[in-house]
Chains A and B, each alone.
Chain A
């Protein structure tokens, strides 16, 4: 059962064609990693899928609801529904600095979903406990390490109960010794069968945690398939070259 369907997606920034005919399916419970060199279009793909960028052409649908078809977006109400299907964890966390950790997590469930404050706080505390941050509820983002902030931002995304959770290079802004704690959280979510699409530079992690790997280069998906197969036994020259840089 597919949750996300992308067909013939295209996107240009002026003259620069960043996405050229992207096709991709994400099934429920699947963990998909998107890898590729800088400028390959992987972040743009994720930004188009999450409406942060407007796609030029093609089709994106969530759970059978069409978000964009032939370059035309769905109406406001449909978009609102679609937006509740996914969450996004940013590279730079983007927590709200003026709100406590707890309120960072409860604000959207209360204001957007209309959840009762007590209920939202209960769920937020459960999420914080799960992230190992139960004691940080009353802290403010600036008082937390990068790794802790990123875990809060994962909790904030999960509080909206998304069907699919996107990660945009979630460890790139972190010191190497802090990436482990984020990868551990993602691994736990994968075990719980959370559907995730992860744009990442962590090749070893991508192979270990994901079911499916998509390798992008120059706006195209060059190679894709079972994570172990694709990374252990790359077929295309381009992917072989890309992976060889990590094995040095």
Chain B
């Protein structure tokens, strides 16, 4: 009873103090998502390029991004300019560094998802478009891409959900997103409550993401391939 009473007392203030962290978490998620989705498509083109140099560079990039921890990538992007090039870095760089690291990391995953979707397209779709006289870019934009989007949406949803939880890795370079904020309060007040609030926040956030993605997937249900 005592524990519960304290908890109920604490909740509003914990919530208030976590508010800013929530906003930062949302910012990392949103910017990463909207920037890495188009960048991933460009990377996918590089990965499928007929030019061997472009293709191999892209392949190496994807391999490094997927083969090393995101936490390490965040550290490299944040400390790299100073430690490698001797540039002075302001503390304002923390959030941009986080977003850069997230975007280049997630673009690599999205690129492979797009590639899978593009390569799953039947040859007949390209041939039909070719015979009808569509140019290469018309074929891609009007015929291939809309079908690819439908096919990759479930995988994109998966990545989006992982991304919500990955935002907590910004903790590594002390960006005060949700998790960092919760950790600070928890340490200062020796309480589990901030963590519990954080857990609920991540869960609700992901629930909303899954719900939104499901709506988008449903909007493509008007046809079957």
Could you list which residues of chain A lie within 8 angstroms of chain B, going by C-beta atoms? 50-52, 80, 83-84, 86-88, 90, 92, 94-98, 107-108, 111-113, 140-142, 153, 156-157, 160
Pick the residue among A94, A97, A107 that contacts B224 (CB under 8 A): A97
Residue of B122, B131, B143 with most partner-chain A CB within 10 A: B131
Chain A nearest CB from B122 CB (Å) reads: 8
B223: interface (CB < 8 Å):
yes
Q: A94-B125, A107-B132, A156-B132 are in contact. List 18 more A-B contacts (CB 8 A).
A: A83-B131, A84-B133, A86-B131, A88-B131, A90-B127, A94-B124, A95-B128, A96-B128, A98-B147, A98-B223, A108-B134, A111-B134, A111-B142, A113-B133, A140-B222, A142-B223, A142-B225, A157-B132
Number of A-B residue pairs at CB separation under 8 A: 61
Chain B nearest CB from A142 CB (Å) reads: 4
Distance between Cα atoms of A111 and B131 in the complex (Å)? 13
Using CB atoms, name the residue of chain B closest to A111: B138
B146: interface (CB < 8 Å):
yes
Using CB atoms, name the residue of chain B closest to A142: B224
Complex contact A98–B146 (CB within 8 A): yes
Q: Do A80 and B127 contact each other (CB < 8 Å), given the known contacts A98-B147, A98-B150, A107-B142?
A: no
Residue numbers in B under 8 Å from A157 (CB-CB)? 131-132
Chain B nearest CB from A152 CB (Å) reads: 12
Complex contact B143–A96 (CB within 8 A): yes
Distance between Cα atoms of A226 and B222 in the complex (Å)? 48
Complex contact A96–B125 (CB within 8 A): yes
* A and B contact pairs by CB, cutoff 8 A, 15 listed: A80-B133, A83-B133, A86-B131, A92-B124, A96-B128, A98-B150, A98-B225, A108-B132, A108-B133, A111-B138, A112-B132, A140-B223, A153-B128, A160-B132, A160-B133
Distance between Cα atoms of A228 and B194 in the complex (Å)? 88
B130: interface (CB < 8 Å):
yes
Using CB atoms, name the residue of chain B closest to A153: B128
Residue numbers in A under 8 Å from B130 (CB-CB)? 51-52
Distance between Cα atoms of A148 and B153 in the complex (Å)? 30
Chain B nearest CB from A247 CB (Å) reads: 34
Residue numbers in B under 8 Å from A142 (CB-CB)? 223-225
Residue numbers in B under 8 Å from A86 (CB-CB)? 131
Interface residues of B in 90-119 (CB under 8 A from A): none
Residue numbers in A under 8 Å from B225 (CB-CB)? 97-98, 142
Using CB atoms, name the residue of chain B closest to A87: B131
Distance between Cα atoms of A111 and B142 in the complex (Å)? 10
Pick the residue among B131, B142, B143 that contacts A52 (CB under 8 A): B131
Chain B nearest CB from A183 CB (Å) reads: 22
Interface residues of B in 144-166 (CB under 8 A from A): 146-147, 150
Residue of A84, A87, A111, A153 with most partner-chain B CB within 10 A: A111
Residue numbers in A under 8 Å from B134 (CB-CB)? 108, 111-112
Instruction: Produce 1/0 per residue, B23-60, CB < 8 A to A.
Output: 00000000000000000000000000000000000000
Residue numbers in B under 8 Å from A111 (CB-CB)? 134, 138, 142
Distance between Cα atoms of A113 and B134 in the complex (Å)? 10
Chain B nearest CB from A99 CB (Å) reads: 8
Distance between Cα atoms of A88 and B134 in the complex (Å)? 14
Using CB atoms, name the residue of chain A closest to B149: A98
Distance between Cα atoms of A160 and B223 in the complex (Å)? 25
Distance between Cα atoms of A108 and B129 in the complex (Å)? 8
Distance between Cα atoms of A52 and B131 in the complex (Å)? 8
